[in-house]
Amino acid sequence: MVNLLAKYRCSVCNYIYDEKNEDQNFGDLPDSWNCPVCGAPKSAFVAEGVSKGDESIETNVAEKIIEQLVAFGVTHVYGIPGESNLPLLNAIRKNDNIDFILTRHEETAAFMASAHGKITGKLGVCMSIAGPGATNLITGLMDSATDRSPVLALVGQVAEVYLGSEAFQEISQISLFRPFAEYAETVARANQAMKLTMMAAKYALKKPGLSVLSCPTDVLADKLDDLIIDPSKRIFGSESVSAEQDIQKAADLINRCNRTVIFGGWGSRFSGELLMELSKKLKAPIATTSRAKGVVHETSQYSLGVLGSIGTKYAAKAIRDCDLIIIIGSGFRQANLVSPGVKFVQIDKDPTRIGKTFDVDVGLVGDGHRVLEKLVPLIEEKEENEDFLFQVFDMKLRHMEELEKESKDFSVPINPGFVIQALRRHLDHDAIITVDVGDHTYWFYKKFLCEGHRPYLNANMASMGFALPAALAAKLDFPDRQVVCVAGDGGFGMLMADFTTAVREKLNIIAIVFNDSVLKNIKKELVRDGYPIFGVEFPNPNFAQFAESCGGFGIRVTTPDKLDEALQNAIRSGKPSIVEILVDPDKTAASTKKVD
């Protein structure tokens, strides 16, 4: 056994206990021993460095980081291996409680981690090498940062001894990530690893948002035998709510108004039943953000669907005509739709978001669900205000008639609205639907009525490419539920190589690809702004044949009469599937008119 002759530093006064100059090893000192300078206990000392040759220590830094993540309940790490993160890869291989999911691109890995965080509320973890691996993570990590999804990125780095010397693939990772990360630090020494991993996970989960650990490969290989930190002793809930008098003040205001609209955001995603109870008491319509779509069944009497540019006209009508808006868990970007004199009650766990861009009459700080539990019993039953709701419900009825008409539109090229209604016919009501960004996003959010379905999208960054990685993560988390990716050919084409990840991992997702060989949303914007149509059209591969070549199921649909059968076959195949649908390249969701 190698004699360590290590040094130990007092974390209180920085006194160094040097085994070379002492008569006994630090580990042999009695637990009652104190620092001779400041009197700190032995437990306050940290090792200054541990020799890689110490045969008494069987684990290294990478293995301890992975063990600590397992203690947080992490079951998957998504990413791409390489020289600078091989100790992490090997640590995952050796640990039976966690799996490595190899992706084709680091952006996929980051999107998967973010989607996992959104869908489960638990920590998503991705991994990359130094240099280009780190930069390739950025788009997916921005989804975590802006949509507040808990993610930890383990970023391999060149050896610590070479940092600052312009080494191969060296970049300043902390400078790169810190502007949008809640926490970003370098594991520069072995004895930092457990503390920094705990801090990174804590910030990611409780802010929530993105944490980044830059991990030099030589430090990852250093010996370490520190104990795993118990998360229950370090991470605690923030479940406080506003005082009873503030909740009563909100109830009094609500009870005085008679044209109320309820607006549910991401912070209301677990509160569907409470929203419906509040709605029934007030006879008040409910609109949601795109992220909260499906929190209430959109076929219910008072549901208005989504508010905003990808939402319904009757949701906007209700907002314009109301006298009070109750906002739960949203920053409410649609304040420009509101008429003068409207009152606001805003509920959010983040006090900085309450009244951030508009005046609020009553602000309630706390988790939306817990605040509603206290608020709803104080609300008085009301009669339906027919004058307020008549036009709203009339617009909703005409919208439903339009959906029914589109469900029977057998025109060629295929109407994208026909595709949306076909999906409604075939998807399970508990299906998870991941939605990419493009013209199809408008079709989906305006015209797909959720009845238990839960859609997810890249909301604040609106990045193309999100839907396929998100579907992969969702299927790993919920293997028994139907998982459907809804994408345009542009967004799907960005990361379509990771369809092979679905095949390798036996993830029988269904990718619905709206193929129109054009970036239709950009085409629409060119026309709107008076530009010639240029730079938005491209030839596509046969996506169905691509699926087959990967080992999945693929089918191309060119006429609407074949779509129902195609969807049934994809569902029954039990394989990762692509249903490629040749849709009308000129029909847009905003008006359902041609854009020539």
Give 296-345 as a 3 state SS string: CCCCCCCEEEECCCCCCHHHHHHHHHCCEEEEECCCCHHHHHCCCCCEEE
What one-character-per-residue DSSP string does 192-226 give? GHHHHHHHHHHHHHHTTSEEEEEEEHHHHTSB--P
**pLDDT above 80 (res 291):** yes
pLDDT of residue 11: 82
pLDDT one-digit tens code per residue, 408-422: 999 999 999 999 999
| Helix %, strand %, coil % of the chain (to 5) | 40, 20, 40
**CA distance to 232, 318, 332, per residue, from 235 (Å):** 6, 41, 30
Stretch 70-88: mean pLDDT, rounded?
A: 97
| Lowest mean pLDDT segment, chosen from 307-311, 557-561, 592-596 | 592-596
**pLDDT above 90 (res 347):** yes
pLDDT confidence bin for 337, thresholds 50/70/90:
confident
Q: Which fold has domain 61-233?
A: Rossmann fold (3.40.50)
pLDDT confidence bin for 404, thresholds 50/70/90:
very high
pLDDT of residue 512: 98
Architecture of domain 408-582: 3-Layer(aba) Sandwich (3.40)
pLDDT confidence bin for 31, thresholds 50/70/90:
very high
pLDDT of residue 14: 85
CATH class of 7-47: mainly beta
For residues 205 and 198, give the distance between their C-alpha atoms in angstroms, rounded to a whole number: 11
In the chain, the amino acid numbered 549 is: S
pLDDT one-digit tens code per residue, 483-538: 999 999 999 999 999 999 999 999 999 999 999 999 999 999 999 999 999 999 99
**pLDDT above 50 (res 148):** yes
Q: What is the 3-state secondary structure (H, E, C) of 150-165?
A: CEEEEEEECCHHHCCC
pLDDT of residue 49: 55
**pLDDT above 90 (res 160):** no
Angle between helices 416-426 and 439-447 (to 10 degrees): 50
Are the folds of 7-47 and 244-390 the same? no
| Lowest mean pLDDT segment, chosen from 298-302, 389-393, 585-589 | 585-589
Chain centroid to CA 195: how far?
25
pLDDT of residue 589: 80
Q: Could you tell me where the beta strands, DSSP code E, fall in 459-533?
A: 483-488, 510-515
The answer to whether 278 and 379 are in contact (CB under 8 A) is yes
pLDDT of residue 55: 67
**576: alpha, beta or left? (left if phi > 0; alpha if psi -120 to 50):** beta
**pLDDT above 70 (res 50):** no
| Residue 401: Cβ within 10 Å count | 10
The answer to whether 284 and 302 are in contact (CB under 8 A) is yes
**pLDDT above 80 (res 161):** no
pLDDT of residue 335: 82
For residues 202 and 467, give the distance between their C-alpha atoms in angstroms, rounded to a whole number: 27
**CA distance to 160, 291, 292, 301, per residue, from 297 (Å):** 53, 14, 11, 9
pLDDT of residue 596: 42
Q: Could you tell me where the beta strands, DSSP code E, fall in 7-131?
A: 7-10, 16-18, 45-47, 76-79, 99-102, 124-128
Q: List all residues 6 or more positions away from 26 whose beta carbon is below 8 Å from its beta carbon.
A: 6, 8, 17, 19, 45
Query: For 244-390, which CATH superfamily applies?
Result: TPP-binding domain (3.40.50.1220)
For residues 252 and 561, give the distance between their C-alpha atoms in angstroms, rounded to a whole number: 55
pLDDT of residue 210: 98
pLDDT confidence bin for 238, thresholds 50/70/90:
low
Top-confidence residue, 590 or 382:
382
Stretch 162-191: mean pLDDT, rounded?
A: 89
pLDDT of residue 257: 97
Q: List all residues 6 or more positions away from 398 whose beta carbon is below 8 Å from its beta carbon.
A: none
Nearest CA among 474, 510, 506, 507 for reference residue 492: 510
pLDDT of residue 240: 74
**pLDDT above 70 (res 540):** yes
Exposure string (b/e) for 254-265, b if CB count within 10 Å is 16 or more? Answer: bbebbbbbbbbb
Q: Give the residue extent of every domain in the chain.
A: 7-47, 61-233, 244-390, 408-582
pLDDT confidence bin for 359, thresholds 50/70/90:
very high
**pLDDT above 70 (res 2):** no
Stretch 179-184: mean pLDDT, rounded?
A: 97
For residues 329 and 360, give the distance between their C-alpha atoms in angstroms, rounded to a whole number: 14
Exposure string (b/e) for 71-90, b if CB count within 10 Å is 16 or more? Answer: bbebebbbbbbbebbbbbbb
Average pLDDT, the chain: 93
pLDDT of residue 1: 39
For residues 189 and 196, give the distance between their C-alpha atoms in angstroms, rounded to a whole number: 10
pLDDT of residue 78: 98
